[in-house]
């Protein structure tokens, strides 16, 4: 039994349940692969091999159960774990050990998942990058802020992982690393135990290498009583929206073209969406809401550890604190109003196809890429999923972003599952 780390999560659960493999075998195989690749990718802030093996042995002894039985899960270092350090990507919290798990971690354990280790986050899930490299080319960023979570799944170092998104921190790194990224409707998963950056925008998201694995993870987190199976649309109508065309690179354009061909090959209908100034204008609302929240969420760090913050953080936290409460609340109320207004975008459509990033992952590790194609969807709170869509001109992954209306998470995943095989064929 070699290369167990390359199985899908669904296959691994089935083989653990049937007794064909043990959780210990699965974990040891992942650890052996990580030992070979860790220096190149650097996806982890904490990974205790002995503890992981001991936990796997305990699972095998008790008999692994639950929908995530034995699956190695990477947890973004923004999310609390009661048995592992959580530093929020910051030297300020280098020795921080939470007393309890975040809700999503506890839910994963309850579903039988193996909390494998902590994956690198940019500092406070914002702009200051960690050491993680893109698995496809270590000279390029994996994206952020969920850098380690995307890279670990892409490099087969974990089967599933948690990220968070406040602007583009799940959808964009998934595109850059060539994996599935899922940002559910805001509020779908609890953010209790997740270090806040912008409580209005912060959303816990997921990474995997197949849509079926995301569906498995999502059902486990929601609980069976909340996971309503969706009837597949026989001929879905897919809107194609290309905002911010000046920022759109050739790799992203080619990915959209492949996506369009895949939709038609799978039996769907394409609908070209016109230029939408109201949608593009949402960026001017996302920025002050995020800054206003960040100024409040990081007030203690700004007050007590200002010298330890990079200049960008000091400047932007101060800028956020200068936004008075009345203005901040008015901005959020305006976002609520626009969410209702913008719902008309989906009239006659089942989903929207749009770029997840300007193109391939940029060269260098000093920045994690531009969230221009993500922030407005995050502001609206609608569910989004990244699908890998081949390679760009520099040999790095590019992707597609699919979006559905507020609350239509299961419908979106069903549509992503419908499109996935046709898109894979189109990319080969």
Q: d(Cα 180, Cα 399) in Å, to the nearest integer?
A: 9
User: Both 18 and 91 in a single domain?
Assistant: yes
- 376 in a structural domain: yes
For residue 224, pLDDT beyond 70:
no
Same structural domain for residues 307 and 405?
Answer: no
Residues 14 and 109 in one domain: yes
Based on the domain organization, do 271 and 202 belong to the same domain?
no
pLDDT of residue 365: 97
Which residue numbers are catalytic?
76, 145, 169
CATH number where 262 lies: 3.40.190
Same domain, 86 and 146: yes
Same domain, 107 and 247: no
Q: Are residues 103 and 179 in the same domain?
A: yes
Q: Do 143 and 187 share a structural domain?
A: yes
Shared domain for 218 and 130, answered yes or no, is yes
- Tens-place pLDDT, residues 41-66: 999 999 999 999 999 999 999 999 99
Q: For 336-358, how does the pLDDT look when each residue is reduced to its tens digit (9 = 90+)?
A: 999 999 999 999 999 999 999 99
Residue 212 within a domain: yes
In tens, the pLDDT along 116-158 reads: 999 999 999 999 999 999 999 999 999 999 999 999 999 999 9
Does residue 230 sit within a domain? no
Residue 232 covered by a domain: no
Q: How many domains does the chain have?
A: 3
Indicate whether 359 and 300 sit together in one domain. Answer: no
- Domain with 321, as residue range(s), is 283-332
Is the per-residue pLDDT at 391 higher than 80? yes
* Pair (287, 273) in one structural domain: no
- Please state whether the peptide bond connecting residue 35 to the residue before it is cis, i.e. omega within 30 degrees of 0: no
Strands 237-240 and 351-354: parallel
pLDDT, tens digit (0-9, with 9 covering 90-100), for 268-325: 999 999 999 999 999 999 999 999 999 999 999 999 999 999 999 999 999 999 999 9
Residues above pLDDT 70, as percent of the chain? 97
Statement: residue 40 has pLDDT above 60: yes
Does one domain contain both 259 and 310?
Answer: no
Handedness of CA 41, 47, 49, 55 (dihedral sign): negative
């Amino acid at each position: 039994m070699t290369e167990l780390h390359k199985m899908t999560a669904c296959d691994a659960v089935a083989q653990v349940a049937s007794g064909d493999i043990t959780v210990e075998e699965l974990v040891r195989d992942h650890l052996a692969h990580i030992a070979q690749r860790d220096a190149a990718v650097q996806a982890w802030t904490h990974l205790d091999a002995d503890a992981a093996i001991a936990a796997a042995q305990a699972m095998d002894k008790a008999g692994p159960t639950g929908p995530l039985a034995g699956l190695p899960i990477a947890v973004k270092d923004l999310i609390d774990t009661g048995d592992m350090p959580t530093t929020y990507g910051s030297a300020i919290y280098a020795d921080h050990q939470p007393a309890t798990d975040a809700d999503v971690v506890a839910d994963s354990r309850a579903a039988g998942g193996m909390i494998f280790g902590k994956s690198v986050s940019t500092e406070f899930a914002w702009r200051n990058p960690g050491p993680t490299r893109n698995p496809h080319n270590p000279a390029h960023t994996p994206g952020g802020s969920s850098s380690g979570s995307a890279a670990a799944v892409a490099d087969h170092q974990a089967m599933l992982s948690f990220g968070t998104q406040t602007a583009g921190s799940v959808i964009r790194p998934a595109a850059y690393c060539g994996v599935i990224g899922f940002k559910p409707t805001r509020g779908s998963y609890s953010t209790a135990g997740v270090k806040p950056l912008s409580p209005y925008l912060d959303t816990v998201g997921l990474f995997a290498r197949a849509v079926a694995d995301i569906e498995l993870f999502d059902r486990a987190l929601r609980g069976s009583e909340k996971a309503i199976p969706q009837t597949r649309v026989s001929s879905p109508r897919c809107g194609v929206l290309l905002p911010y065309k000046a920022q759109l690179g050739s790799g992203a354009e080619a990915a959209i073209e492949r996506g369009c061909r895949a939709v038609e090959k799978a039996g769907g209908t394409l609908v070209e969406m016109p230029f939408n100034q109201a949608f593009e204008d949402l960026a001017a609302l996302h920025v002050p809401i995020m800054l206003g929240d960040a100024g409040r969420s990081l007030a203690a760090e700004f007050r007590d550890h200002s010298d330890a913050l990079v200049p960008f953080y000091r400047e932007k936290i101060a800028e956020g604190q200068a936004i008075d409460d009345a203005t901040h609340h008015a901005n959020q109320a305006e976002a609520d109003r626009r969410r209702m207004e913008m719902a008309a975008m989906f009239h006659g459509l089942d989903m929207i196809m749009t770029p997840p990033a300007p193109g391939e992952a940029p060269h260098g590790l000093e920045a994690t890429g531009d969230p221009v194609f993500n922030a407005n969807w995050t502001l609206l709170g609608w569910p989004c999923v990244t699908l890998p869509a081949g390679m760009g001109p520099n040999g790095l992954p590019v992707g597609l972003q699919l979006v559905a209306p507020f609350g239509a998470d299961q419908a979106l995943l069903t549509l992503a599952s419908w499109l996935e095989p046709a898109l894979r064929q189109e990319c080969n």
